[in-house]
Amino acid sequence: MSELKVDKISPDSGTTTTLGQSGDTFTIPIGAVLANLGTITGFGAGLIKYIGTSELAAAGTTSTATSYTSTGATITIPAADVVGLSKIIILTEGTGRQDKNGAANITDFRTQRTAPSAVNFTEVTKGANVISGLAEILGQRGSLIIDSSLGTGDHTYGVYFRKYAGVANQVGNIYYKQGGWRILAIGI
């Protein structure tokens, strides 16, 4: 086995350098770093091509909304990054609190895509019917959605909430930013 030690490989002519032949394997050893400062192409579907995060700070904001209302937590994947993606996976996580109203203490949360076209993803219901006690509920809210109906342009996703099924007596106040929100977008 031969070893070649160089700091840089450049094409002899043109702009392309080929390493090996079809069927060859190149191994990157443990501890080595392959740094990409440009664009990688031709690696096939299913690989992570985009990662983005967004965070919304905690606040004592309350609402009694019966229609879906934005928490303010959003993430936008730029159009240039959407090109070449087959799916965008969105993970949301936040801490909320809600007060009892009568015998119920239930809220709906869901992720919505607002651009380039509107898509409402499955809602997550949080809470319980309350016989006695349990004046409030504090806990994590979150969802995982997979968007495979991508369009052109920026793709913007946000977290929305409302009183359960849009019915006023399902919960008292919704503290929808109790612990802030985090959104992770993964493009494949």
Q: What is the pLDDT of residues 9-55, one digit of tens each?
A: 888 888 888 888 888 887 777 777 766 666 666 665 568 889 999 99
Supply 131's token pair. 């016989």
pLDDT score of 129? 65
pLDDT score of 29? 77
Alpha carbon distances (Å) from 37 to 8, 34, 87, 144: 14, 10, 24, 30
CA distance 59 to 178: 6
Supply 180's token pair. 């802030």
Q: What is the pLDDT of residues 65-97, one digit of tens each?
A: 999 999 999 999 999 999 989 999 999 999 888
Asked if pLDDT for residue 114 goes beyond 90, the answer is yes
Domains, the chain, in order of start with CATH, read 50-187 (2.60.120.760)
pLDDT score of 28? 76
pLDDT score of 131? 57
Question: How far out from the chain centre does Cα 170 lie?
Answer: 28
Cβ atoms within 10 A of the Cβ of 108, count?
A: 21
- Cβ neighbors of 164 (< 8 A, separation 6 or more) are 104, 106, 107, 108, 125, 127, 170, 171
Candidates 63, 58, 70, 127; CA nearest to 94 is 58
- Between vectors from CA 77 to CA 73 and to CA 81, what angle results, nearest 5°? 165
Q: Which amino acid is at 9?
A: I
CA distance 49 to 185: 11
